[in-house]
């Protein structure tokens, strides 16, 4: 499993930082086991391992039993290394297949005999601890030294936190996601790591629990420190049934572009001033759907929740009425931010704003006896492709030649700078500008 590689890559980072030469087994014995497992409340408990059996038997408080379980793990690994006829299995190699091929946890089975070393197996124990937990139960593994540094720092804090709040033990992936959001969120103080940090929330049955962050929140935060890189991540979950989504690319430069556009375009507006985009943003897709739908996690995967209600479609010929409450206004700003990020051209926002003013003047000259101007405008704002948009502009010019210059500029942009797939997004942006001006909502 990829966790083996992550564990080994982390150990390279660890040895370089501390000027040591520990093997994965030595790190497991001297550092990892004492921190994670030599305690009544573990920081993590991988299923079906000897250490997990102590949880089910309620024997984790017994030091001798913990040591015995560790020795059982060493023995299982030694026996495998001495005779590799059978593949490593999940009781001693984390994330690997079940010993029973009929079980639901028998994933990743192959007829190929892939040799596994001692470093690979102990590396899986270390690497799985770097899983970044998110709402929905999916974890990410990301190979990057800044991630290693942040999460290693967070483990010690989590250890202390579990001592004071034993009910949140065994959840290091959940902690990792929350901790990264704090560590890279702008409020972290290395001299007081818990300052401005509130990892707990109210869960089911009004019980306090670790408050998981959404995948959007975590990727927004990470984009601030990995802004120049497209990074491969491994997505999975471990539980009663292991789930492997696989590898995906996270386009952090695109994700950061969303944040930059939001702060540049709308950051000075009182309703969103001093608010972080990751705290406001909701997406149309959960992680699993986005993973299966898109080839990578870039701007496209961040489509805002409910934006589709405003995008022209065969079943949507009338633009929904805009609301003036604060939450709606914030959502409209997010919609415009995402559209501009998709178009990747802030000049189009200015063009949409200017065109909206022209269209308002155009409709205001309509008489009660004739409604052809309103109909022509509706045709423009419901266009779903370049052909329909050009036809609607021609209709506008025929009614009022004064719109010729405006429409020529629009034509130039949609032919040169807006792809066919993005035409509906620009039309939606234009609709927001037009309807907000008509209703005196400042967008």
What CA–CA distance (Å, rounded) separates 402 from 362?
Answer: 9
- Work out whether the CA dihedral 106, 109, 114, 119 comes out positive or negative: negative
- Work out whether the CA dihedral 171, 176, 181, 185 comes out positive or negative: positive
Cα dist from 422 to 298, 300, 333, 414, whole Å: 15, 11, 18, 9
pLDDT for the residue numbered 368: 64
What are the tens digits of pLDDT across the range 371-386? 799 999 999 999 999 9
The yes-or-no verdict on residue 110 having pLDDT over 70 is no
What CA–CA distance (Å, rounded) separates 150 from 389?
Answer: 50
What CA–CA distance (Å, rounded) separates 65 from 217?
Answer: 40
Which stretch of 57-66, 97-106, 200-209 has the lowest confidence by average pLDDT? 97-106
Q: Token pair of 3, please?
A: 């966790």
Highest-pLDDT range among 40-49, 84-93, 112-121: 40-49
pLDDT for the residue numbered 95: 83
Q: Token pair of 406, please?
A: 């405006």
**Residue 100 pLDDT level (bands cut at 50, 70, 90):** low
pLDDT for the residue numbered 169: 86
Q: Token pair of 330, please?
A: 């914030």
Strand order in the sheet with 296-297: 132-133, 139-142, 230-237, 243-251, 296-297
pLDDT for the residue numbered 203: 79
Q: Token pair of 4, please?
A: 């083996």
The yes-or-no verdict on residue 168 having pLDDT over 80 is yes
The yes-or-no verdict on residue 367 having pLDDT over 80 is no
pTM of the complete model beyond 0.85: yes
Q: Are the CB atoms for 14 and 22 separated by under 8 Å?
A: yes
pLDDT above 90: percentage of residues in the chain: 78
pLDDT for the residue numbered 315: 75
Query: In this structure, what DSSP letter does residue 320 have?
Result: P
Residue (of 44, 41, 63) closest to 167 by Cα position: 41
What CA–CA distance (Å, rounded) separates 396 from 193?
Answer: 61
pLDDT for the residue numbered 248: 98
Query: In this structure, what DSSP letter does residue 87 have?
Result: P
The yes-or-no verdict on residue 98 having pLDDT over 70 is no
Neighbours of 76 (CB within 10 A): 18
Q: Token pair of 338, please?
A: 């995402």
Q: Where are the domains of the chain?
A: 2-248, 304-438
What are the tens digits of pLDDT across the range 70-91? 999 999 999 999 987 777 888 8
pLDDT for the residue numbered 331: 96
Cα dist from 73 to 26, 87, 99, 141, 203, whole Å: 14, 16, 15, 24, 35
**Residue 111 pLDDT level (bands cut at 50, 70, 90):** low
pLDDT for the residue numbered 208: 82
The yes-or-no verdict on residue 61 having pLDDT over 90 is yes
User: What pairs with residue 210 in β-bridges?
Assistant: 200
**Residue 207 pLDDT level (bands cut at 50, 70, 90):** confident
What are the tens digits of pLDDT across the range 344-361? 999 999 999 999 999 999
Strands (DSSP E) contained in 89-131 are none
The yes-or-no verdict on residue 211 having pLDDT over 50 is yes
The yes-or-no verdict on residue 184 having pLDDT over 80 is yes
pLDDT for the residue numbered 109: 57
**Residue 251 pLDDT level (bands cut at 50, 70, 90):** very high
The yes-or-no verdict on residue 317 having pLDDT over 90 is no
């Amino acid at each position: 499993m990829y966790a083996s590689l992550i564990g080994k890559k982390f150990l390279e980072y660890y040895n370089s930082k501390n000027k040591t030469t520990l093997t994965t087994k030595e790190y497991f014995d001297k550092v990892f086991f004492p921190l994670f497992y030599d305690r009544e409340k573990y920081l993590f408990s991988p299923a079906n391992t000897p250490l997990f059996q102590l949880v089910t038997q309620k024997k984790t408080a017994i030091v001798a039993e913990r040591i015995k379980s560790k020795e059982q793990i060493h023995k299982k690994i030694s026996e495998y290394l001495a005779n590799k006829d059978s593949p490593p299995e999940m009781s001693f190699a984390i994330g690997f297949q079940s010993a029973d091929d009929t079980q639901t946890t028998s994933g990743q089975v192959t007829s190929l005999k892939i040799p596994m070393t001692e470093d690979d197996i102990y590396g899986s124990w270390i690497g799985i601890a770097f899983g970044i937990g998110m709402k929905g139960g999916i974890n990410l593994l990301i190979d990057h030294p800044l991630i290693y540094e942040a999460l290693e720092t967070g483990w010690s804090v989590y250890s202390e936190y579990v001592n004071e709040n034993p009910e949140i033990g065994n959840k290091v992936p959940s902690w990792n996601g929350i901790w990264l959001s704090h560590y890279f969120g702008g409020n972290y103080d290395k001299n007081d790591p818990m300052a401005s940090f509130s990892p707990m929330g109210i869960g089911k049955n009004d019980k306090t629990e670790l408050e998981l962050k959404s995948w959007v929140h975590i990727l927004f935060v990470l984009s601030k420190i990995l802004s120049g890189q497209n990074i491969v991540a491994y997505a999975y979950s471990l539980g009663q049934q292991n789930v492997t989504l696989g590898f995906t690319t996270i386009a952090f430069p695109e994700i950061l572009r969303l944040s930059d556009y939001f702060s540049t375009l709308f950051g000075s507006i009182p309703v969103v001033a001093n608010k972080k985009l990751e705290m406001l943003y909701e997406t149309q897709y959960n992680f699993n759907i986005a993973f299966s739908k898109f080839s990578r996690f870039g701007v496209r995967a961040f489509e805002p929740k409910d934006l589709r209600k405003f995008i022209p479609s065969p079943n949507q010929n009338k633009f929904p009425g805009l609301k003036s409450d604060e939450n709606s206004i914030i959502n409209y700003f997010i919609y415009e931010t995402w559209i501009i990020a998709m178009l990747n051209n802030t000049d189009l926002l200015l063009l949409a704003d200017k065109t909206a003013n022209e269209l308002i003047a155009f409709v205001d000259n309509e008489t009660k006896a004739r409604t052809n101007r309103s109909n022509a405008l509706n045709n423009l704002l419901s266009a779903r492709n370049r052909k329909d948009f050009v036809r609607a502009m021609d209709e506008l010019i025929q009614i009022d030649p004064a719109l010729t210059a405006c429409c020529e500029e629009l034509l130039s942009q949609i032919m040169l700078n807006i792809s066919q797939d993005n035409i509906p997004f620009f039309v939606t942006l234009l609709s927001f500008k037009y309807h907000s001006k008509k209703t005196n909502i400042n967008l």
